[in-house]
């Protein structure tokens, strides 16, 4: 498990030649999968090109560096509409407010924890006027651009035993001030909104947002299909250890739909291994 802040800024090392190809810049969230799908790369020569690494191409995330097999794992986001669309949706967690489906304000996210093997967002670290506590990722209903919506039965979990608690054990006044003895383990959420100064936003914009997102996703799918149609695969595209689309296939809509149904990682792999 890694805190998001521990991943950002890490050098990215290619195992094939031992070269540093840049630094991990930002984590691109897939709100539907509740995971990190891509990591953008900070590099002075690539700043305008928008390059990234699909999370499933990452070999490991250590204390010193993030490793990948080869520089060929790097993609240009403009050539992968699904990656570009996720980036443009600007889904964020840190500094976003948490609200229940019935409009009860819980607090503000200050950090989150990811599974460094899968990219899954496993836990949010949240702060309110009483202190800092953890919220299990399974309670999240929606990761939005402006709000994170959670279930009504969400609980405030103690930070004891978490990455944040371990760090705060060292002398660090900021963390000590943030973690209050008043936060009880597994305490059902009560009226936290009364303790926060800002009013909770209405639920109506959340309900209205879904249709526009659906339309946007359909447009992205259409754009992806148009870019891939007529191209030829340069290698076998595999899924669950079976060949989904053989090398040399001239892509038609049915092949693209197969890849899309298998998941965004397979669609990205198809895009990376198809040529004119």
The predicted structure's pLDDT at residue 29: 94
The predicted structure's pLDDT at residue 113: 95
Judged by phi (left if over 0) then psi (alpha if -120 to 50, else beta), residue 171 lies in beta
Please tell me whether residue 8 adopts helix, strand or coil conformation: coil
The predicted structure's pLDDT at residue 164: 57
DSSP at 120: B
The predicted structure's pLDDT at residue 276: 66
pTM of the model: 0.59
Report domain 97-197's class: mainly beta
The predicted structure's pLDDT at residue 210: 42
The ranges of the chain annotated as CATH 2.30.30.240 are 2-89, 97-197
Angle at 231 between CA 70 and CA 267, to 5 degrees: 55
The predicted structure's pLDDT at residue 135: 94
The predicted structure's pLDDT at residue 240: 82
CATH number for the domain whose boundaries are 2-89? 2.30.30.240
DSSP at 129: T
Task: Provide CB contacts within 8 A for 201, sequence distance 6+.
Answer: 99, 103, 146, 147
Sign of the CA dihedral running 101, 106, 112, 117: negative
The predicted structure's pLDDT at residue 159: 75
C-beta of residue 107 within 8 angstroms of C-beta of residue 196 = yes
58 vs 239: CA distance, rounded Å: 18
- Averaged pLDDT in 10-residue chunks for the chain of 276 residues: 92 90 92 93 67 93 92 86 86 92 90 95 92 93 91 81 52 40 42 43 43 52 75 88 90 87 77 74
């Amino acid at each position: 498990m890694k805190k998001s802040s521990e991943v950002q800024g890490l050098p990215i090392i290619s195992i094939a030649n031992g070269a540093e190809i840049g630094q991990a810049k930002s984590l691109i969230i897939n709100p539907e999968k509740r995971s990190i799908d891509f990591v953008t790369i900070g590099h002075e020569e690539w700043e305008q090109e928008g390059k990234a690494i699909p999370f499933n191409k990452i070999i490991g995330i250590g204390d010193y560096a993030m490793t990948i097999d080869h520089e060929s794992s790097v993609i240009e986001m403009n050539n992968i509409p699904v990656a570009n669309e996720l980036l443009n949706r600007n889904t964020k967690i840190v500094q976003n407010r948490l609200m229940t489906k019935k409009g009860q304000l819980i607090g503000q996210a200050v950090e989150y924890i990811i599974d460094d093997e899968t990219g899954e967002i496993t836990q949010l670290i949240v702060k309110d006027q009483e202190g800092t506590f953890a919220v299990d990722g399974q309670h999240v209903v929606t990761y939005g651009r402006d709000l994170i919506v959670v279930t009504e039965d969400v609980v405030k979990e103690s930070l004891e035993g978490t990455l944040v608690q371990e760090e705060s054990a060292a002398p660090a006044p900021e963390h000590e001030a943030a973690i209050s003895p008043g936060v009880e383990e597994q305490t059902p959420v009560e009226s936290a909104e009364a303790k926060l100064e800002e009013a909770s936003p209405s639920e109506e914009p959340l309900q209205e947002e879904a249709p526009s997102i659906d339309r946007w996703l359909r447009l992205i799918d259409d754009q992806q299909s148009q870019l891939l149609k007529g191209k030829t695969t340069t290698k076998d595209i595999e899924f669950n250890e079976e060949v989904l689309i053989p090398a040399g296939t001239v892509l038609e809509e049915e092949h693209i739909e197969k890849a899309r149904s298998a998941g965004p990682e397979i669609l990205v792999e198809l895009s990376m291994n198809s040529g004119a």
